[in-house]
Amino acid sequence: MTTTVDLTHSPADEEFRAEARAWLRAHVPPGPLPSLETAEGFAAHRAWEAELAADRWSVVSWPEEYGGRAAGLMRWLVFEEEYWAAGAPGRVGQNGVSLLAPTLFEHGTPEQRARVLPPMATGEVVWAQAWSEPGAGSDLASLASRAVRTDGGWLLTGQKTWSSRAAFADRAFGLFRSEPHLPKPHQGLTYLMFDLRAPGVTVRPIGRLDGKPAFAELFLDEVFVPDEDVIGEPGRGWRIAMSTAGNERGLTLRSPGRFLAAADRLRDLWQARGEPESAAARVADAVVGARAYQLFTYAAAARFLDGESLGPESSLNKVFWSELDLALHETALDLLGAEGELADTPWSEGYVFSLAGPIYAGTNEIQRDIIAERLLGLPKGRR
Amino acid sequence: MRFLLDTEQRDFADALRGLLTAADTPAVVRDWSRGEHEGGRALWGRIGEAGVFGLAVPEEYGGMGRRPVELAVAFTELGRYAVPGPLAETVAAAVLLDDGEDLAKRFLPGIASGETVATVAFEQHGYGFALDGDAADVRLAATPEGLRLSPGAGAVRRSLDPARRLTPLFPVGELISTEPPWAEALAWARLATAAQALGLGLALLDRTVAYVKQRTQFGVPVGSFQAVRHRLADVKIALEFARPLVFGAAVTMTPSDVAAAKLSACAAAYAGARAALQLHGAIGYTAEYDLSLWLTKARALRGAWGAPEECRRVVLERR
């Protein structure tokens, strides 16, 4: 028997780590940027993306022709560890980079990739997602916004909501019903990209819990979208949107590096507060949780690189990181005592953000249903 | 970087599952609980022949060389079948007795082959009890002077897990080592216990999933109720995130990783036990139903070789 299980990165990956670390040390702003969910902060984060992109650090896993470094999954994980350990800013382009870009790589045309990806990489165009509707949340396939055929394109009409980043973003992507006569709700949906400043679009920002406009409602009234902005075949949007959901995206939505860095800072905070015994268990659990998430991801990445499809496993992942993130931030606020209620601190900003984790990207209830049915083989029941 | 068990390691697990399925472990466990060790000793011998204990013993003393990853693979299966006996203790003994000289020659070949059952009373083990001292051939007692070969065990104290027979060891007898590798032995026993707990939790989940699929109430399987489904989903999540901690700890063997693995695997197994009991209902609360063999062990393993707070303390130590 030979042991081939290995947790050591290759020398080439370690070299890459050193290069990333050196660049980040020289470029990461000394203090936190203003909140991403304000106009001022959005602009500052956009400028940071441009700075990253200038040295090809904004989308390391993309091919070089689109501004990336063709870093494989392992190297991307290494980059993320360094990025968050360096205390670098949150990523304003996350929606586009982690949701739209993988879809374009799989289902887009070369023309779409050449047109859409480079300005996404630099932060010049920031993307918002337009999935949910007032009547379609967890039951996303019941969405009612329409795409009606017109000369050279489509006319979008309807209402989207909870559209993250849409208050300040430039463009959006989402699903629209193009063949309303079909019997099943997930049939006849089309995946489209559209301009948030196009005629017929009204963006109404929504204040999240702390009042910051982190998301928005979108009112669409016969918004023209040219054919070149349809992704994949019209009517096949559901399959296209879901095909990336279970695969690499399940791994790349939230990287372990983010939680390793947060758990480290939590431990620092606990030490600075005199290591109160009452919080020791929760701090330790956050440290252990971050390590578990890192190792789980390494194992999933190894299977993915072996050609396995991860599928419903990404539901385990989603529940775990979102609950870890929330528990970690709750512990930090408790350690801060009365100061914990102050808004606009890095910890309280992270806390408000983490509160949404169990809700977006498929609520944790939906994820548990997927785990029960598709991983445990339990019978379907009422939701 | 390739954090994935290879084919040989998976085949090893499959072979052990075959061996243990054929062994009718519930009957062996019940006999062991009554102090009837014959069936358990026979099973121990077969596990030894399969090379399990040899994974903690260097090749020159009849082992496979120390292989923590394969040990974790094997102990996951031992846990899955609720195999009784001082399993982690024998692993700890193999490490404590490996002086590369006389002690190793004297004891390790027997441990590797499965002929020798060993136990140890260790400060971290708590209360100064050794597991199954009445069944063991070699009883190691940690004393202020060092490691002693204890001549006998005291009266058996009952554990919450009837298959774990706790025995005080007399802290006398031949002083065989003044500076044994305590920390290393602790890490190996802790890893073995973590893997055992992982297997235990996986078995509890499997059994409970099977039960809620066939048990019907209100005309439908109880497994179709969302309260039941979500509870089992949570157990699945806990186990699937404990698993990489266990194998990651086996790769690095750092005190922090090993403690994290022990903490998480035992917590996941215990969550599995609580869910299993609740979802089986009253039948799960009976000693007669075999589920009890797994349920009670999930509680006992939490405290063995590092209770949760001890593991958390190690995790929080800055390296």
| Structural domains for chain A | 12-92 (no CATH), 127-237 (2.40.110.10), 245-375 (1.20.140.10)
What DSSP designation does B219 have? Answer: T
The predicted pLDDT at position A47 comes to 98
Query: How does pLDDT run across B260-300, given as a tens digit for each residue?
Result: 999 999 999 999 999 999 999 999 999 999 999 999 999 99
Mean pLDDT of chain A: 94
Query: How does pLDDT run across A135-187, given as a tens digit for each residue?
Result: 999 899 999 999 999 999 999 999 999 999 999 999 999 999 999 999 999 99
Burial class of residue B45, CB neighbours in 10 A (0-12, 13-18, 19+): middle
The predicted pLDDT at position A245 comes to 62
User: Does residue A90 surpass a pLDDT of 90?
Assistant: yes
d(CA A46, CA B200): 50
Residues B244, A295: C-beta atoms closer than 8 Å: yes
Asked if the C-beta of A375 comes within 8 angstroms of chain B's C-beta atoms, the answer is yes
Burial class of residue A19, CB neighbours in 10 A (0-12, 13-18, 19+): middle
Tell me which residue in B1, B209, B245 faces A292 most closely, judged by beta carbons. Answer: B245
d(CA A89, CA A32): 7
The predicted pLDDT at position A272 comes to 97
CA distance A188 to chain B (A): 30
Tell me which residue in A295, A302, A378 faces B2 most closely, judged by beta carbons. Answer: A302
- Give the B window 46-85 contacts with A, CB below 8 Å: 64, 67, 69-70
B76 domain residue, yes or no = no
d(CA A177, CA A149): 11
B167 domain residue, yes or no = no
B170 domain residue, yes or no = no
Q: What is the mean predicted confidence (pLDDT) over A21-43?
A: 96
Dihedrals phi, psi of A72, to nearest 5 degrees: -70, 180
The predicted pLDDT at position B129 comes to 86
User: Does residue A256 surpass a pLDDT of 80?
Assistant: yes
The predicted pLDDT at position A309 comes to 82
d(CA A77, CA A210): 32
d(CA B249, CA A9): 16
Q: Which helix (H) or strand (E) holds A218?
A: strand A215-226
Query: How does pLDDT run across A277-309, given as a tens digit for each residue?
Result: 999 999 999 999 999 999 999 999 999 888 888
Contacts with A17 from chain B: Cβ below 8 Å: none
Residue A155 forms beta bridges with which residues? A148, A224
B191 domain residue, yes or no = yes
Determine the residue type at B222. Answer: V
d(CA B269, CA B199): 8
B161 domain residue, yes or no = no
Q: What is the mean predicted confidence (pLDDT) over A263-270?
A: 98
B144 domain residue, yes or no = no
How many domains is chain B partitioned into structurally? 1
Dihedrals phi, psi of A228, to nearest 5 degrees: -65, -15
B146 domain residue, yes or no = no
The predicted pLDDT at position A136 comes to 93
How would you write the pLDDT of chain B (319 residues) with one tens digit per residue?
Answer: 999 999 999 999 999 999 999 999 999 999 999 999 999 999 999 999 999 999 999 999 999 999 999 999 999 999 999 999 999 999 999 999 999 999 999 999 999 999 999 999 876 555 478 999 999 999 999 888 899 999 988 899 999 999 999 998 888 899 999 999 999 999 999 999 999 999 999 999 999 999 999 999 999 999 999 999 999 999 999 999 999 999 999 999 999 999 999 999 999 999 999 999 999 999 999 999 999 999 999 999 999 999 999 999 999 997 6
Dihedrals phi, psi of A307, to nearest 5 degrees: 95, 5
B164 domain residue, yes or no = no
The pTM (predicted TM-score) of the whole model is 0.96
Say what percent of chain A tops pLDDT 90. Answer: 89
Contacts with B310 from chain A: Cβ below 8 Å: none
Say what the ipTM of the complex is.
0.97
3-state helix/strand/coil string of B67-122: CHHHHHHHHHHHHHCCCCCCHHHHHHHHHHCCCCCHHHHHHHHHHHHCCCCEEEEC
Asked if the C-beta of B225 comes within 8 angstroms of chain A's C-beta atoms, the answer is yes
The separation between CA A308 and the C-alpha centre of its own chain, rounded to angstroms, equals 22
Nearest CA in chain A to B238: A320
The predicted pLDDT at position A381 comes to 82
The predicted pLDDT at position B77 comes to 98
Query: How does pLDDT run across A317-346, given as a tens digit for each residue?
Result: 999 999 999 999 999 999 999 999 999 999
Contacts with B263 from chain A: Cβ below 8 Å: 284, 288
Asked if the C-beta of B319 comes within 8 angstroms of chain A's C-beta atoms, the answer is no
Asked if the C-beta of A383 comes within 8 angstroms of chain B's C-beta atoms, the answer is yes
Q: Any idea what the Cα angle at residue B298 is, between residues B296 and B301, rounded to 5°?
A: 110
Query: How does pLDDT run across A341-383, given as a tens digit for each residue?
Result: 999 999 999 999 999 999 998 899 999 999 999 999 999 987 6
Nearest CA in chain B to A298: B3
Query: pLDDT grade, residue A128 (50/70/90)?
Result: very high
Nearest CA in chain B to A365: B230
The predicted pLDDT at position B319 comes to 60
Residue spans of beta strands (DSSP E) within chain B: 118-121, 129-131, 138-143, 146-149, 157-158, 165-168, 174-177, 216-217, 220-221
Domain range for B230 is 184-316
Instruction: Read off the tokens for B299.
Output: 């509680």
* Identified catalytic residue from A248, A308, A341, A349: A248
Annotation says A49 is catalytic: no
- CATH code where residue B276 lies: 1.20.140.10
Q: Which residue has the tokens 């063999």?
A: B293
